[in-house]
């Protein structure tokens, strides 16, 4: 075995490669975080790649290195937003709670996601790029994936309800439409407490629907 072969497989070389990979991942994450922040603060129409780079603390060349185009950066941002909005609900722990507590936890988690800056960024991106066929398709794919994940979890969490699977999913669709509307109202009004009273009403309605005997 010669020295060059030994050096190529040395722990130091491996560690350097891992460090480079970690740095690249960190820079990419910073660019995506900066994009989400600017989408929330300025909207898609006014955001520029120069501002994204500045907010991330990198050069514009870093964006070009990590993403083939601005659209690719936005597509990556869509995926990250999806991951944040679809944080895993611990079905096992939730199933151990009384039905009323489960409803509180699930509705609160949905509302926390849609009332966040992350959802504002998503709306800005979806509206600002609705005429872009490539990005529009990426957004639709993310939405389908997000819905599939949460639909399955929802059915598991409320599987002991007296309602049928179809009835539970219909109510879920109704609730989500209402929450999205409240989230948009909060965005437009700028009031942090907008929708809180309605959330409590939704919870009570949901309790009566899932367990009429309660």
**135-161 confidence digits (pLDDT tens):** 788 778 777 877 777 888 889 999 999
The ranges assigned to domains in the chain are: 3-67, 83-210
* Fold of the 3-67 domain: Arc Repressor Mutant, subunit A (1.10.10)
Q: How far apart are CA 31 and CA 16, in angstroms?
A: 23
Residue pLDDT, tens place only, 89-119: 788 899 999 999 999 999 998 888 887 888 8
Is the pLDDT at 8 greater than 60, yes or no?
A: no
Task: Work out the widest C-alpha separation in the chain, in whole angstroms.
Answer: 79
Q: Can you tell me whether residue 108 is helix, strand or coil? A: helix
Helix axes 99-114, 133-157, angle to 10 degrees: 170
How would residue 9 be classed by pLDDT, with cut points 50, 70 and 90? very low
Give the integer Cα–Cα distance in Å for 122 and 74: 10
């Amino acid at each position: 075995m010669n020295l060059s072969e030994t050096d190529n497989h040395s722990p130091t070389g491996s560690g350097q490669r891992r460090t480079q990979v970690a740095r690249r991942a960190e820079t990419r994450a910073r660019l995506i975080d900066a994009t989400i922040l600017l989408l929330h603060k300025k909207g898609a129409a006014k955001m520029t790649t120069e501002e994204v780079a500045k907010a991330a603390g990198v050069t514009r060349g870093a964006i070009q290195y990590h993403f083939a185009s601005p659209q690719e950066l936005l597509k990556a941002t869509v995926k990250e937003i999806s991951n944040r909005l679809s944080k895993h609900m611990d079905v096992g722990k939730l199933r151990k709670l009384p039905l009323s507590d489960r409803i509180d936890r699930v509705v609160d988690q949905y509302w926390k996601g849609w009332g966040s800056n992350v959802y504002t960024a998503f709306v800005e991106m979806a509206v600002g790029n609705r005429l872009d066929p490539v990005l529009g398709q990426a957004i639709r794919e993310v939405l389908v994936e997000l819905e599939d994940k949460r639909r399955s979890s929802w059915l598991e969490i409320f599987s002991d309800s007296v309602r049928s699977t179809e009835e539970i999913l219909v109510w879920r669709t109704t609730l989500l439409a209402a929450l999205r509307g409240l989230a948009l109202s909060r965005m437009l009004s700028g009031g942090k407490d907008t929708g809180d009273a309605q959330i409590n009403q939704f919870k009570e309605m949901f309790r009566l629907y899932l367990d009429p005997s309660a």
